[in-house]
Amino acid sequence: MTGTARIPGTEITGVYGSLLKAVMRRMVGKVPDSAEVMWNHPAAFKDMMKLGGRTEKWDELDKNLASFATMAAAAEIGCSFCLDLGYFMAHNKGLDEDKAREVPRWRESDAFTPLERQVMEYAVAMCQLPVAVTDEMSDALLAQLGPAAMVELAARVGFTNLSGRSNIAMGIRSEEYAASCGLKPLAVGSLA
């Protein structure tokens, strides 16, 4: 992990800990250093992992749109761990890597469709304090995506805010997942 977390890690132990480590190795190839930070509160860690895993099973929103939205949110709030994991997951899921690499600079890039831009604009607006989502943004997306996909979009970006802001507060940073699969991000935003 680049930098030092603000909370010291602790050894992941126990039967559940062993199972959790096996799942993480299967999912990302190793046990992230950040997992040891989160293991200071196993119940919170387990619940965050469960919710994160469940979001990956949702299927009302196109997978590329979901990926771009969560990565745009991660870039907006400055979570280098989330953005790096987003690149890695886009690669592993066979999503559009070229576009994923451009997400942090989506406003300047000509790689995205109007719908993709609207989705990322919505995600970024959700990250503002106060939330800057407008009726016009919602109406335009609702007409194109439908209600179920809109609920999923908002929930995915909301979860990214929960996990990303928690990571930032704890000093959890990128663990270079994208580099491990040969995906060099073209744009990384201004992440700490």
**What pTM, to 2 d.p., does this model score?**
0.89
Burial class (CB in 10 A: 0-12, 13-18, 19+), 93: middle
Please give the pLDDT value at position 183: 57
pLDDT at 29: 83
Cα(85)–Cα(107) distance, integer angstroms: 21
Mean pLDDT confidence for 159-184: 84
Q: Tokens for 21?
A: 């480590």
Give the chain's domains with CATH numbers: 8-57 (no CATH), 59-192 (1.20.1290.10)
> Rounded to an integer, what distance in angstroms lies between the CA atom of residue 187 and that of residue 93?
20
189 falls in which pLDDT band (50, 70, 90)? very low
What amino acid occupies position 126? M
Among 118, 91, 97, smallest CA distance to 107 is for: 118
Kindly tell me if the per-residue pLDDT of 110 is higher than 80: yes
Exposed, middle or buried by CB within 10 Å (0-12, 13-18, 19+), for 136?
Answer: exposed
